[in-house]
Amino acid sequence: MSASESPPATAPALPAPRDQHLRRMANTIRALSMDAVEAAKSGHPGMPMGMADIATVLWGQFLKFDPADPTWPDRDRFILSNGHGSMLLYSLLHLTGYADMPMSELKTFRQLGSRCAGHPERGHAAGIEVTTGPLGQGIGNSVGMALAERLLAARFGQELVDHHTYVFCGDGCLMEGISQEAISFAGHLRLSKLILFWDDNHISIDGPTALSRNEDEVERFDASGWHTQRIDGHDTDAIADAIRKAQQSDRPSLIACRTIIAFGAPTKAGTAAAHGSPLGKDEIAGTRERLGWTAPPFVVPPDLIDAWRKVGERGKNTSAAWHERLRKADAEKRAAFEAILSGELPQSARDALAAITAKFIAEAPKTATRQASGSVLDALAPALPGLIGGSADLTPSNNTKAKSQTIVARGDFAGSYIHYGIREHGMAAAMNGMAAHGGIIPYGGTFLVFTDYCRPSIRLSAIMGLRVIYVMTHDSIGLGEDGPTHQPVEQLAALRAIPHLQVFRPADAVETAECWALALASGDKPSILALTRQPVAAQRRAAGENRSARGAYVLAEAEGARRVTLLATGSEIGIAMTAREQLATKGIAAAVVSMPCWALFEAQDEAYRRAVLGTAPRVAIEAAAGFGWDRYIGERGCFIGMHGFGASAPIEALYPHFGITAEAVVEAAQALI
């Protein structure tokens, strides 16, 4: 039935429950969800009401968690990929006794300042493992979570690391392309402790899913090497049985749960009308009657509160036993485990970064910044446990694999380098999952232009404040012959527009090492390292502080009073320095400002920013779109860069062709002063 068709006059009888008590527990979730959505006058009641039985069985009998110890490292992870059904998660957190989730929060669902945001937001309350809402992302995150569990188990043993990752998803998550990347990768690695529940309710917003999909989802998972089951998602025995079987499988598991959206609603159940709007007063009254629910809104009968609180206490002993095992673990192992989970950079990593920076200063290599990044990783990887690298099939181009790193493979998770395959979006979402899991510092590479293929996950790294490091090479037309499809033009501007994301474009090997150090030190932010394919000259010759830390700095001051300031990043610093020399021969004193990270520069005090930028006219040089540079060059300034897409040719031809040359800079500077 489509949303526009009218529902049947008399509602079909509700399927009889297997277990009356479990049905009543599930009805608690249904009532809280429909009442909270009604109070907020917006939200999605259908999914929580449809998945309530599954959630009751999973949380009631299987999920390993302890609301009194919500960050217990070996807890099972629960991810709501169909995040629009957020009231399901909020209800569960409240009912099982998370201190963060009193009833007052549920009553303010979707209101400013409430922990119960429209979609679950990591950091709003314990128990919300990741921010979900953009469909499919949660599945991608869950693959990273399950992978993090395997990686840490391989390092510390199953007495410390042995948990499941459970994911709820809907039709929308499975229709999204990212799901295929995630599913195929999880199947490839046989992440057997990943269990995915698909809310197979045949409904999305526009109506029945048959409007737009006909493939057999279960066969898709079969083909990807998953263990699969189909069950009635309202049959609590079948749900429990399926979870047991999934836990025993040596593969990731899909449990396709046939459900009725808005189960219990007299006229809207099974229809798209229940997906994303309040049910309305009459429908809610009818639902209460059919479910036998007599309690007023936001009131849970005492016997059910007791039952749910007992669920919340189920994990207490398991958590205590785990802490005891950690306490008794070998001192060295325990220290290493605690250190890796703390997320702090160990002294060994700081020393490695200092040593490679000093080496670059001493040797002043002319090298591509992607190669310098590779050398940083060679130094860092042995010194930083928890650093897990990878690339979306561009390892030799991205220089992402350190010499000491071995490969993560099915059945062998001792390595620290991941071949993600050509799955940029899946890689980025998995890295978010790993970072959110804890104990892992993920970095992964592709070409800068393909940040567009994983931008939704990069945005979520930033929203969640996760330390994910994107190693994005081939950062301009400087990559040459591959042409405009591969030459990023607008990507730097687009990435700089994402709040809370650090976009670094280092100018030489020293700045590359500095930017790596800054990215690693930023425990609550993601970073992009935009790196060159082509060699660039060494610019920084003197040892000292990490100058990139201020985002921009005067690399070469004008000799005499500044008459022009040249602003540049990355490979274009070389052009700026040549232009500075040429200007000097004409008696024009120019300063060159290197701006490896705009966001960090913006965070400096005004006096510093003014001093760096100066009052002389400015020319900005970047082999990319000029969007955004206006704020630094002002109305009087000039931008030397790209004004359209690139072209396929050797680098030597491209820079002159597009007018990105020292001569053009000199000319622009002369015109300005």
Ligand X SMILES: Cc1ncc(C[n+]2csc(CCOP(=O)(O)OP(=O)(O)O)c2C)c(N)n1
> Which DSSP category does 368 fall into?
E
Nearer CB in complex with ligand X: 119/314? 119
> Encoding tokens for residue 78?
């629960």
What is the sign, positive or negative, of the torsion defined by CA atoms of 110, 113, 115, 117? Answer: positive
Residue carrying structure tokens 């979570």: 145
x-marked contacts with ligand X along 186-225 as a string, rule CB under 6 A? -------------x-x-xxx--------------------
CA dist., res. 441 & res. 252, Å (int): 24
Q: Which of 170-178, 400-408, 483-491, 565-573 is the region at the interface with ligand X (rule: CB under 6 A)?
A: 170-178
- Number of residues that this document lists for the chain: 673
Q: Which two tokens stand for residue 593?
A: 């400002």
Interface stretch with ligand X, choices 54-62, 168-176, 531-539, 635-643 (CB under 6 A): 168-176
What is the total count of residues that contact ligand X (CB under 6 A)?
Answer: 20
The single-letter code of the amino acid at 266 is: P
Should residue 426 be labelled a site residue for ligand X when binding is judged by CB under 6 A?
no
Residue closest to ligand X (Cβ) = 170
Nearest Cα to 537, choosing from 602, 471, 592, 616? Answer: 592
DSSP letter assigned to residue 59: I
Is 173 or 566 the residue whose CB approaches ligand X more closely? 173
Residue with tokens 């030489």: 508
Our finding on whether 431 is near ligand X (CB under 6 A) is no
Contact status: 649 vs ligand X (CB under 6 A): no
In the chain, DSSP finds a helix count (H) and a strand count (E) of: 26, 18
- Tell whether residue 172 is a contact of ligand X (CB under 6 A): yes
* 141 touching ligand X, by CB under 6 A: no
Contact 549, 600 (CB under 8 A): yes
- Report, in Å, the least distance between residue 545 CB and ligand X: 43
- Using the minimum distance from each CB to ligand X, give the nearer residue, 462 or 597: 462
Residue 149 annotated as catalytic? no
How far apart CA 521 and CA 375 sit, in angstroms, is 18
Residues 220-279 that bind ligand X (CB under 6 A): 261, 275
Active-site position among 181, 424, 511, 622: 424
- Distance, C-alpha 323 to centroid of its chain: 29
Q: Which of these segments, 99-107, 146-154, 164-172, 472-480, binds ligand X (CB under 6 A)? A: 164-172
At a CB cut-off of 8 Å and minimum separation 6, what does 86 contact? 43, 44, 80, 116, 117, 118, 119, 120
Q: Which helix (H) or strand (E) element contains residue 25?
A: helix 20-40
Residue 367 interacting with ligand X (CB under 6 A): no
Question: What is the residue whose two structure tokens read 């009833």?
Answer: 103
- Least distance from ligand X to the Cβ atom of residue 51, Å: 9
Residue 384 is a binding residue for ligand X (CB under 6 A): no
- Span near ligand X by CB under 6 A; candidates 128-136, 145-153, 402-410, 499-507: 128-136
- The interface with ligand X within residues 26-55 (CB under 6 A) comprises 44, 46-47
Site for ligand X in 557-616 (CB under 6 A): none
Q: Which of 414, 62, 30 is nearest to 253 (CA)?
A: 62
As measured in angstroms, the least distance from the Cβ of 269 to ligand X is: 12
Q: What is the dihedral sign for C-alpha 26, 32, 35, 40?
A: negative
Give min distance, CB of 423 to ligand X, in A. 17
Q: Decide if residue 135 touches ligand X (CB under 6 A).
A: yes
Positions touching ligand X (CB under 6 A) are 44, 46-47, 82, 84, 133-135, 170-173, 176, 199, 201, 203-205, 261, 275
Residues with catalytic annotation?
424
